[in-house]
Structure 1
Amino acid sequence: MTLYNSIRTLSILLLVLIFYSSCSDTPKESATMLIYGGTIYTVDSTKTKVEAIAVKHDRILYAGNLAEAEKFKTDQTELLDLKGKTMTPGFIEGHGHFMGLGYNELNLDLMNTTSYQAIVDAVAERVKTAKPGEWITGRGWHQSKWDSMPAEIVHGFQTHHLLSEVSPDNPVYLRHASGHAGFANAKAMEIAGLTEMALDGSKTYEVEGGEVLVDALGRPTGIFNERAQTLITQHIPQKTPETDRKAFELAVKACHKNGITSFHDAGIPKETIALYEQMKAEGKMGVRIYAMLTGWDEELLNQWYKKGIMVDDDHLFTIRSIKLNCDGALGSRGAWLLEPYTDRPDHFGHETLPMEFVKKTAINGLKHGFQVCSHAIGDRANREILDRYEIAFNSMPNKTNNHRFRIEHAQHLHPEDIPRFAELNVIPAMQAVHMSSDRPWAIDRLGEKRIKEGAYMWQSLLQSGVPIVNGTDVPVEPINPIASFYSSVSRKTLKGTPEGGYEPEQKMTRTQALKSYTLDAAYGAFEEDIKGSISVGKLADFTVFDQDIINIPENQLLDTKVVMTILNGEVVFNAEK
């Protein structure tokens, strides 16, 4: 071989090596979006923080250092500079009521009222524009959060007289913040046929799983607890398709504004299922919904047992769980307790669903592949449900490998029942913000011993080996996840009291709190393989905050704002636009 040919051959080989070398450095895929320039928490244990993320359409293509991420960039790639802000996986509302959120925007929102008079004033204002005889409805009042109580009270609740005076011709029904009680005026009770009471109290109202509060003369005060609410609500006109669509759209908008990309909808009927299917078909499912079938409708459950679970390939609307409402709320003294209420010694709360039905549903859930999610706030309700779950597990051991049964709220537990969650692999879905709202007055309901040994036991449950699914129970509380995150790590009210927090040994770390709103919440819906962390191959859902929620001082957390929400690799909310 001549020297020329040798040099020529070497040159060709060198060019080939350079070509293949350059090709090997070029990713085979290109990004539709490149995100960089801020603090990015992944909630991925293998790589907790990254500099940049490359996204291709609805999936995460790469998460790591910026130099490598830029290799996925083309002329068509959208560049998103975080400008020093903080990004996390998309936040997941682990227990809420989606349509309740939307309707709270349409009806009277009483969440921020601080007195009975404020409720009366809000209704009086609405009466001015209401049509004659039109129902006025709302939600959000909570007597234990008022600055003062009215002069006339029965069992800790106001009476209807002031409300009836400002709205003599329009029936009014206002749901308690918890949703477990309601407040009606005289016109509403007249329509329901509940005003003809004997003055000697000889006529009483007995409602299984509920209570009509009456005064000393046996007359209804306007307060309807738990299942007694149906005495009034059955007379309220049905919602229309138009109002349902409007409420749905408002709920989507509220989620985007608050950085919520996924939502565990805790109990929906067949009508809502049809609405969601229609919204998805029209391309309007702007939030990923993991829905629980309402357990009140046994016919609906039987239909789905035959049909089987529905896991959406688009990950927008999935049905694979059942919601059972097994007791009431602490604020209305409906939570079912092992020992009587400290501030009402003759009362234990309410078993709002027969435990035999819980056992039956747990067995059917295992048999047909449905997760069972049972509402339990009181310690007796929690114990009874754990007992029924255990019976079901023991009866069908070959079906228990990955059941992921949940207890929703798990708010007040007997100390002996805390380790049972891990032993039975039952997930507690707990809304930390309830502690901030309820703890100042919950001690009046339960007493110091029960509060300290079994109330809001987050760290004890986490240390026992179970994840916690966090959330707000919207519209019981505002959907803002920052409030629940703050409550998780501070154990304080949203006013910042007390110093050091209530039962501070039960605080979550910030890493635990973030995980409870992302990866652990995804796990609670069998979705940890597709969401909950910023990992290659997972869905491109992200929440961007204006502050570093992991490192800023605690007293600055509540000032944090959601500035951007990204769903399916697209910006769906931008506070700057």
Structure 2
Amino acid sequence: MSKKADIILSSNAVFTGVNSRPEPASIAIIGNKIAAIGSKEEISSYIGNDTQMHDYQDQLIMPGFHDFHLHVFPGSLELDSVSLLDAKSEEEAAEMVRQFADKRPEASWIIGFSWDNANWENKQLPTRASLDRVLPDRPVILSHIECHYAWVNSKALEVMGITRDTPNPPFGIVDKDENGELTGILYEKAMDLIFKGAYDFSKEKKLQMLKKFFSLTAEYGVTSVNDMYAPTSDFLDDYGLFDTLEKSGELSTRIHLLPALSADLERAKELRDTYSSDMLQFSGLKYFIDGVITGYTAFMLDPYNDKPETRGSSSVSPDIFKELVVNADRAGFRVRVHAIGDAGVRLALDAFQEAQNVNGVRDSRHTIEHIESIHPDDIDRFGQLGVIASMQPHHLALIDNKVYSARLGKERNKLTFAINTLKKAGAKLAFGTDFPVTSINPMLEIYRAVTRVDYSGSPENVWNKDERISLSEALKAYTYGPAYGTFREHKLGTIEPGKLADIIVLDRNLFEVPPEEILETKVSLTITDGRIVFEQGACNKKVVESK
């Protein structure tokens, strides 16, 4: 006689991720695992007196979303800060900052995210002067939408002791005008000069922010995330707080940790040994090899079209970078490299090739993040080297593609966000959001992957339409792809007997609605590790303690 299920889910549309279309099925969950899948009749023997029965008719049941690339602490901070995404001018953004500050009289720093001068009428970078007019007495730091440069006021510069004589840090720029005066824009590692003051939070404050973050992931059906090293990580990250939440039963999302790749591999080994549970585990090492195309800091093979005096640069010399990768590979670590420019992508591939040449070929699952621009000669190398393509489809709609056309020119722009080209060439895809660069909502990523609708939002405006992929491929890239990328495809990523019970229910069958409805889709139920952590309409109770 079969053991009785704790939960049974049924629907006419179950997308297991094994096949390419949903089918009618019931799923029996015992403890934190999937016990069986079959017809209602086949699963009926699992029904007991205490079994929770959920029949979702035609709603789509699928594996939980696995965000392969985000930043937990910066994202948690963003949820508690002013968003400037909707600002249409520098003046409007400054006024939004003033209004936010008025509501936070106790805040010593005013922190904001997501301003985008490409979305403003004059397209010009802002200056500290506009912030000084609305908030002269409190320091302000506002991260650009891509989080690779920041806008600050004079008070922030004063508090942190930054003057016109402050030297540029390695891979960073303290921007100045033609007279040598500070503009209030800080690029890349220069942001650290402000972060160390602005992001000095207590553990209690961080814990409060984290709980809000995990409530949101449950609501969006995100059952696993990869927490990537970010420019702010040195000041914000605190892995011990994840451990605290896990021990108290409040960790409703699986966390895969990816701290910075450095020459100090002993610390990485300690983290690998310390965090190894099913809910919280070390997953690899992250490195930034370049910046972003909008700020001319992405490393390009040829000069930028609209700024031919530069092609960006690598964050360190290629030789040093390759040595870091080879040493980490030798020690058994998987490495994930932020590389946006085509030269950055090539350098990352070269480093992975070097690791194979020196250490031998192994199942390393090294990964390149973003890949916004790629040279045709490097496309097949992903499949040849077994390198995973970690991509964020919604990024193509964050910035007006006219900006990319201006920076890259027509020919290079044909392979911007080349998702389908890489897939067809044998690269394994894994999707994420890069939150807080964009919303943590997976529906935005799925919609962009299948439509390629650009920044305008109009369905008629499609960017590189041949790079669209099917709905099934997009869902697999957001479930199985990240599971494979974290070496957990035997436990996560599909709905199969014996796997961990990370399952969600959407309020409609995505396979039966027009693409535009993807954006309207909500999550009805989220189950992580066999626990219902979110249920739509259930008195807004999103996190349930362990049974």
Query: TM-score normalised to the size of structure 1?
Result: 0.88
Corresponding position of 2:243: 277
Corresponding position of 2:132: 164
Stretch deviating more after TM superposition (250-259 or 544-553): 544-553
Corresponding position of 1:107: 81
1:435 matched to 2:396? The reply is: yes
**Cα contact 1:132–1:170 (8 A) shared by 2:** no
Measured after TM superposition, the shift of residue 47 of structure 1 is 8.8
Distance 1:271 1:173, change over 3 A: closer
How many residues are aligned here?
533
Q: Structure 1: state its 5+ residue gaps.
A: 1-26, 198-202
1:485 matched to 2:446? The reply is: yes
Measured after TM superposition, the shift of residue 129 of structure 1 is 4.2
Measured after TM superposition, the shift of residue 271 of structure 1 is 5.1
Corresponding position of 1:348: 311
Describe how 1:407-422 pairs up with structure 2 within 5 A: 407-422=368-383
Describe how 1:25-424 pairs up with structure 2 within 5 A: 27-45=1-19, 49-131=23-105, 134-144=108-118, 146-149=119-122, 153=124, 157-195=125-163, 197=164, 205-236=167-198, 238-267=200-229, 272-295=238-261, 298-299=263-264, 301-305=265-269, 308=272, 312-313=276-277, 315-397=278-360, 400-424=361-385
Distance of 1:305 and 1:57 partners within structure 2 = 31
Report SS of the residue matched to 1:60: strand
Distance of 1:323 and 1:135 partners within structure 2 = 29
Distance of 2:20 and 2:432 partners within structure 1 = 26
Distance 1:257 1:542, change over 3 A: same
Give the AA of the match of 1:435: L
Corresponding position of 2:542: none
CA RMSD of aligned residues (A): 2.1
Report SS of the residue matched to 2:184: strand
Distance of 1:237 and 1:32 partners within structure 2 = 43
Report SS of the residue matched to 1:235: helix
Q: Percent identity?
A: 28
Q: Structure 2: state its 5+ residue gaps.
A: 539-547
Corresponding position of 1:554: 515
Give the AA of the match of 1:302: E
Give the AA of the match of 1:212: V
Give the AA of the match of 1:244: K
Report SS of the residue matched to 1:381: helix
Report SS of the residue matched to 2:108: coil
CA deviation vs aligned residue, 1:512-541 (integer Å, no higher than 9, x gap):
101000011110110100010000011111
Distance 1:47 1:184, change over 3 A: closer
**Cα contact 1:311–1:320 (8 A) shared by 2:** no
Corresponding position of 1:518: 479
Give the AA of the match of 1:148: E
Distance of 1:534 and 1:478 partners within structure 2 = 26
Give the AA of the match of 2:122: M
Give the AA of the match of 1:404: R
Measured after TM superposition, the shift of residue 339 of structure 1 is 1.5
Query: TM-score normalised to the size of structure 2?
Result: 0.92
Distance of 2:190 and 2:429 partners within structure 1 = 32
Measured after TM superposition, the shift of residue 311 of structure 1 is 6.4
Distance 1:94 1:133, change over 3 A: closer
Report SS of the residue matched to 1:224: strand
Task: From the CA coordinates, give the structure whose radius of gyration is larger.
Answer: 1
Distance 1:171 1:496, change over 3 A: closer
**Cα contact 1:565–1:572 (8 A) shared by 2:** yes
Distance of 2:310 and 2:209 partners within structure 1 = 37
